[in-house]
Amino acid sequence: MSDDDAAPDAAGAAMEIVATVSHELRSPLTSIKGYTALLLSRWDRITDDQKQMMLGQIQHDADRVTRLITELLDISRLETGRLSLRRERVDLAELVGRVVEQVAMAHPELRADVVLPPDLPRAFVDPDKVEQVLTNLVENAAKYADPHRVRITATHDEGAVVVAVEDHGEGISAEDLPRLFDRFFRRDQAQPTGTGLGLWISRALAEAHGGSLTATSEPGEGSVFRFELPLNLPGNG
């Protein structure tokens, strides 16, 4: 493909990303605007329980907007090679616990069984990006599988740590599995939300760290996503 051919393809892909994210932004912004207007105009006539519910929904939708904007920025930085990782030594057990708590706030039905070794080492990673990947994996398990049967484990050796998120959902077909990390791929087109970008971005963030993100699945048995991270920068031991 020549440069002349590549330019329209890149422009088309960029427009598709903007259109997809813009569409996904509309719903939470409409919800935030509606609940805010209702609270401002009828504050004295709304019960405390109703206020709590509305404020909780506003927070949930604001978090959704933040994630979508982060995705859009990540795509731009990844495609232009401008992604910058702010690495530090991170307690992965603490980070996993925080992710589970945050996802459970949006999905109260989540019952995650977290089993991590007591000697899990600190990894030299960007905590925000690793949290973003893990949040995507745990949230997907809560949304698309059985939220009462999510298991998070970890293994490590001298060079790397692997965090696995296992669900007991319907599984992924052999046909869909190779396309799972493709941009815009969504297995269930009937789902009302989702950009089809989360797993694509998550794998790119894992690879930016020098790690990987893979999936295995058995239809009817569930799926396992394995997020591998090097413990140190290459050559640093």
Assigned CATH for 89-230? 3.30.565.10
pLDDT at 66: 85
In degrees rounded to 5, what are phi and psi of residue 201? -65, -45
Q: Is 76 left (phi over 0), alpha (psi -120 to 50) or beta?
A: alpha
Confidence (pLDDT) at 234:
57
pLDDT at 16 (0 to 100): 67
Below-70 pLDDT ranges, the chain: 1-21, 23, 187-195, 233-237
The rounded distance, in Å, linking the Cα atoms of 32 and 208 is 34
3-80 folds as: Helix Hairpins (1.10.287)
Give the model's pLDDT for residue 4: 52
What is the structure's pLDDT at 42? 92
What was the pLDDT predicted at 11? 55
Topology alike, domains 3-80 and 89-230: no
Model pLDDT, residue 72: 78
Domain boundaries, the chain: 3-80, 89-230
SS3 22: helix
Per-residue confidence (pLDDT) for residue 192, from 0 to 100: 45
Query: Which pLDDT does position 7 carry in this prediction?
Result: 47
The number of beta carbons lying within 10 Å of the beta carbon of residue 123 is 24
Strand partners, 222: 218
